[in-house]
Amino acid sequence: MSETIVRLDQASIFQKDNLILQDVNVEMRQGEFVYLIGKTGSGKSSFMKTLYADIPLQEGTGQVAGFDLEKLPESDIPFLRRKLGVVFQDFKLLPDRNIDQNLRFVLKATGWKDKEKMDARIKEVLEKVAMDTKDFKFPHELSGGEQQRVAIARALLNDPELIIADEPTGNLDPQTSVEVMKVLQEIHQSGRSILMATHDYALILKFPAKTLKCDEGKVFEVVQKSV
Ligand SMILES: Nc1ncnc2c1ncn2[C@@H]1O[C@H](COP(=O)(O)OP(=O)(O)OP(=O)(O)O)[C@@H](O)[C@H]1O
């Protein structure tokens, strides 16, 4: 039986003093692909931020990749984050460095030292997203889809158990969205768990998967047809 990668029990999620989601009970198994949907402001990003410990879990219990969220010391947050790959709508590449330097920056920040090993890892993740021939380019020299593929490669650097993607296709046209989605599907097929927030129902219909919805302060699973 597969193991649990995410579990929230009786969790309440706050932004400052505002209760955003309450009584959240969610389980995600290792290797699952799960969508998170819901209208603007319904709490998708807040839910994801809780999982990567950008928002502390104040009520209820939660586990992500073996870490307990409700009693996670500040000093453990980098170790949790190393088990996660986070991808954002706006890519968040460093504009003043080329692609190779963007990825190397993350490796160095997470303790890598050996240059040859870093070279090999950067090549490996860029090959996975078909961007290995463009490692000398700067972010502004790439299309949105290419930048997002690099951001996905960056998320893969430390071989994460879970990828958290917050509207990764939100800034892309439909065709490019499908291309980026195919990259995420390949990564999923190689055994990784992926949680992806999206507003793009066409994408969900094209690539069906378990779907959670944030609505009126709750998170619940919806069946594909009623999406
Ligand atoms: N840093 C913050 N401080 C206070 N309130 C916040 C903060 N960030 C978000 N919120 C509030 O939390 C609620 C949920 O926002 P959240 O960003 O989680 O929604 P979302 O579903 O991800 O929306 P979107 O689809 O627009 O990204 C909103 O009411 C928002 O105003």
DSSP state of 23: E
Domain ranges in the chain? 1-74+189-227
151-199 pLDDT tens trace: 999 999 999 999 999 999 999 999 999 999 999 999 999 999 999 999 9
Kindly report the protein residue whose alpha carbon is nearest to atom 28 of ligand 1: 41
Question: What secondary structure, in 3-state letters, does 141-185 show?
Answer: HCCHHHHHHHHHHHHHCCCCCEEEEECCCCCCCHHHHHHHHHHHH
DSSP state of 75: G
Confidence category of residue 223, pLDDT binned at 50, 70, 90: confident
Report the atom number in ligand 1 closest to the C-alpha of 48: 18
The answer for residues whose C-beta is within 8 angstroms of residue 38's C-beta and 6 or more apart is 44, 213, 214, 215
45 CB within 6 A, ligand 1: yes
Q: Kindly report the pTM of this predicted structure.
A: 0.93
17 CB within 6 A, ligand 1: no
Q: Closest by alpha carbon to 209, among 150, 41, 200, 7? A: 200
64-79 pLDDT tens trace: 999 999 999 999 999 9
Kindly report the protein residue whose alpha carbon is nearest to atom 3 of ligand 1: 15
Confidence category of residue 226, pLDDT binned at 50, 70, 90: very low
Q: Closest by alpha carbon to 58, among 6, 4, 19? A: 19
Measured CA to CA, the distance from residue 47 to residue 17 in angstroms comes to 15
Domain 1-74+189-227 matching CATH 3.40.50.300: the answer reads: yes
Q: Which of 9-18, 182-191, 217-226 has the lowest mean pLDDT?
A: 217-226
